Structure 1
Amino acid sequence: MVFKTFGWSFAVTALGLVAAVLYGGWTAFWLVAILSVLEVSLSFDNAVVNAGVLKKMSEFWQKIFLTIGILIAVFGMRLVFPVVIVSITAQLGPIEAVDLALTDHERYEELVTDAHPAIAAFGGMFLLMIFLEFIFEEREIKWLAWLERPLAKLGKVDMLSACIALIVLLITATTFAVHAHQYGGVHADKSATVLLAGVAGVVTYMIVGGLSGFFEDKLEEEEEREHEAEEEAKRTGKPLAATKLVGKAAFFMFMYLEVLDASFSFDGVIGAFAVSNDPVVIALGLGIGAMYVRSLTVYLVRQGTLDDYVYLEHGAHYAIGALAVILLITIQYEVPEVVTGLIGVALIAWSFFSSVRRNRALAAAGGDDPGSGGPGGSGEKTEVSSGV
């Protein structure tokens, strides 16, 4: 199972490290290895969230996510995206931008760093929308019930997530963006840029997420028509496979995953310049890491990990919220990558151990819902909560 899922990752790792040695010797080898580990450690929350979406999709689209999707992630976000940013900000042609990336690494790093406020605003607002939509949604299983229960009630207000996100954007544009961090430690007023990029992030989420939700609702209507057949299968003891997203629904869900991955990669691409300013080394290192994140996503789906450890998805979304806030803060201040990584790891680890404790409570109660009054329960029969 492990080799089947991670086989391509192992192959890409070998090829990437060999390419690094051929390109820049053993120095490039170690830089690529460091960047690979950095990308994996910072993106575990990305894998958990992706798995929550991917498990709804058919095996065909899961393979598309792991093959074509990784090409978009590696070549699109880790190699082409920084060059496009340089081309736009420096008003250079694509060929000139590529030449600059390969021949003048310091100038290339400067241009990418100066574009960071716009990148952080777009990615930060997209991720913030994901977090807000999650915490305002009414769900049966709650992790931090004392927080999630009242937020779910507030979530009944239409467009609340978008309103809060835009308020956060206005505050960011009038505070952090006024003294945005630039290359060399200088600061500049990037309020208009941040405001425009942030609105683009919110709009992108609403378009891609909205289309995904629309087609998913269409599938639910089809599920209702198949309900009688499912009941018959249950009576006869035949195993039932969960309904998988196919066609247009799966396509838009795939696009949603790609935009989600892009938003997660923004801070990694910028932070990679702290290790190396060579675009080839950065692309190799982050590309290997991205491949492992994709494989880990598929592994979580096939192992049913999110079903066994039900609070993992909660912890990952809280990590997304933390990352969104950190991205907005980095518009003015430099935040070490290790801080970002540790916050995400801590939240996911906390949610994992909460899930383990919940499973033990269920086992001790003979399979009864701990939310009905058992250890760690919330005292309500309609929901499951960690009680913390």
Structure 2
Amino acid sequence: MSKSFDVIIAGGGAAGFFTAINIAERNPKLKVAILERGQEVLGKVRISGGGRCNVTHACFVPDELVKFYPRGEKELRGPFNRFCSGDTIEWFEHRGVELKIEDDGRMFPVTDSSQTIIDCFFTAARKLDIQILLGESIQSVYRSQKHWKIDTNKENFLAENLVMATGSNPKMWDMLQGLGHTIVPPVPSLFTFNIKDPRIKDLMGVSALASVRVKGTKLQASGPLLITHWGMSGPGILRLSAWGARELFDKNYQFVLQVNWLNDLSAEECEGLLRTLKQEQAKKTVARRSPFDFPNRLWESLVNAAGIGTETRWADLSKQELQALVNQLINAEFRVNGKSTFKEEFVTAGGVDLKEVNFKTMESRLQPSLYFAGEVLNIDAITGGFNFQNAWTGGFIASGAITDKFL
């Protein structure tokens, strides 16, 4: 015999819990269940931000917030005008969870523990009598005249409304395709670059504010760049990987990365600065000390790569050596050979085609009473709390649309 619910939410992650709680709070009479295929819920919440849970970002203007989303920028503008970062802070504070802002804008619970967020969700779910059903792997989903029929490996369910909050789950995307939805093929986003190059070989841990671009494309980004034992990482690289997710996938992660170690300085400006140094520090050794705002070790490596001897003085720099140093500083080229996952915070670009979703309700344009929240959609963002904000906003809007139907 089938178990019957007003709302079934597929997926026990951030988007699923947030949707369920908001539905049950708006209308406590509704019978709500979360179906989770695994044996535990909120796994990504637990590991996010190194176990601290990067809940959202201190960007409170919707038109600015959408710029952090390589996919979903246009579609999220309306939703963010209804539920934005400030609303997230208020939502959690109302439930006893205070958030703090860090220097880079990321927001965490003041406890610095993701368990605080998990406890908040579990407390609310218990209080609202939301059923959390574990080990329920959905095998099929189909629509009858009045209900959704959801069959799992254990039992059968009926629901008036179905919310898909299943994240990057290929099996669920296949089912949605069977219901007529277009799935944009998934590719990795937020990854670091594998580079073997003598210029960075012994510089693990060195960081610099740099701008980076993929040679022969329009892909570019800027921000802190971190040299690692496998290549390059840091916010600048991660931004580039997010915006270039599909293009870099097509290149099989084989490309030339151009790095400007002086961030926004042009070749002409750099040459002017070096010529000034050549006059003002004529008797000093070029390689000895970095005249720029990055570590001496990196400066020494770039000086060496320009073919300048370790004892060469500024006054003795030839025109060719000066030009070679400008090139190493402003347009250093590195061969990228593959990628590495960024910590456990993997993000996928791809999912349900956004044209098939009504962003005023988060309802499918093809199937009535089918809703979406979170990464099941072709929406993703750079690191910094933005992917969670998409989950909260989508869940909030879907919950409002669903409960309005029962008024």
- In which range does the TM-score fall when normalised by the shorter chain? under 0.3
TM-score, normalization by structure 1: 0.22
Q: Which has the higher strand share?
A: 2
TM-score, normalization by structure 2: 0.21
- Flag the structure with more relative contact order, 1 or 2, with Cα contacts below 8 A and sequence separation at least 6: 1
